[in-house]
Amino acid sequence: MEAEDFKFYMPTRIRFGWGSFQEIRQIVDELKGKRIFLVTGRNFAKKYSLLDKLSNYLKGLTLVVFAEIEENPSIETVDRGAEQCRKSQCDLIISLGGGSGLDAGKAIAMLQRNPGSIREYLDQERACQTKGLPIITIPTTSGTGSEVTPFSVITHKAKKAKPAIAPPQNFPDFALVDPELTMSMPFEVAVSTGLDALCQAVEGFWSTQANPVTRSLAFQAIQLAMENLESACLRKDQESVVNMALASHLTGIEMSNVGNTSIHPLSYPITLDYGVAHGFACAIFLPAVIRFNAQSMENRFKDLLHILNLPSGDAFADKIDSLMKRLKAPRRLSEVGVKAEAIPEIAKRGMGRSTAWNPRPMTEEDIIQICKTIL
């Protein structure tokens, strides 16, 4: 087999390990942080004592807390955070949370050294010129891998869309992944975010942009997610919780270089119009898109199906569908409120730049047909 030419870039330093949150002080000191701006969600960090622990670890330093990040963070929240960060004159950002907190933190860091509103960057009126404030990302869900990506996905209410910025300067400086922090996820959040990791892994695996490095990461992430998602959600045993954190993290590393394909853009109208959590909005399409792609993937799927002990792409789709059923994830669009007449609009808004990287070309008409099979 002839080796492919490829490029790969990962400037983020990584510490992964159960209990590693307590090493935060060492990392802050290495980055020479004295005034720390914390970006996090509205409730859980306080509720589960993460704020208390953090201020204890950072004793002697100044900690300014911005705990206002909502799910699918908005332009308004990011701009407000950026303004408060500027006023606080902090020299380092820590963002602690699921993908929402991490994406917002990265955008706020970028805006400290680049002028204007995040909207201007999302609308491509401005481009990021220089690296923002140093940032440490600490994930508390196992789904997005955002701790190691340059993406900030932000809700643009006026456009009813979730565009992203992804300048290379937006890679975090340090990702601290402590799977123990994910133990407090409610069942629904664990299922939804875990399914997001599985979707990202599958999309990364079959992307036409994939290369040998990203494909290996995606391959391992699929295997980890298929073998551990159910027990990580139902039994929460340490081994499967760590393996889901690893699956999510590996998808982040691969996705940072190749992005997603057709499923992620499809999720955005489902989240925006029907209030469905990001991972559920992605996964609802996963089995149907696997069936759609299976015939153009026969060679690529061979090793994966062998490892998973499955005879065909259809059997892979069936297995994920029954996993979703056992985990009580929505599997039909009608379950989340979608009516047949909304499908053409979903197909129109559900096509993004990365749809072109689907292994089988996918048209608006194909998406309409896919949506009909899962209505």
Binding site for ligand NAD (CB under 6 A): 41, 43-44, 48, 71-72, 97-101, 103, 140-141, 143-146, 149, 151, 153, 162, 181-182, 184-185, 189, 193, 196, 278-279
Nearest to 138 by CA among 163, 101, 89, 111: 101
Measured from the CB atom, the residue of 279 and 313 that comes closer to ligand NAD is 279
Q: Are 81 and 42 in contact (CB under 8 A)?
A: no
Minimum Å distance from CB 201 to ligand NAD?
A: 12
Q: Measured on CA atoms in the order 354, 191, 272, 69, is the torsion positive or negative?
A: negative
**Is the CB of 61 or the CB of 213 nearer to ligand NAD?**
213
- The Cα–Cα gap between 332 and 233 comes to 21
Residue 302 Cβ, how far from ligand NAD at the closest point, in Å? 28
Max intra-chain CA distance, the chain:
60
For ligand NAD, the closer CB: 196 or 321: 196
d(CA 186, CA 325) in angstroms, rounded, equals 18
Give me 242's structure tokens: 């760590």
CB of 296 to ligand NAD, least distance (A): 25
Q: Are 36 and 93 in contact (CB under 8 A)?
A: yes
CB of 92 or CB of 277, closer to ligand NAD? 277
Q: Taking the complex as a whole, how short is the minimal distance between the CB of residue 156 and ligand NAD, in angstroms?
A: 12
Least gap, CB of 135 to ligand NAD (angstroms): 13
- For ligand NAD, which is the closer residue by CB, 162 or 215? 162
Q: Cβ distance 37 to 199 under 8 Å?
A: no
Residue with tokens 């907190």: 101
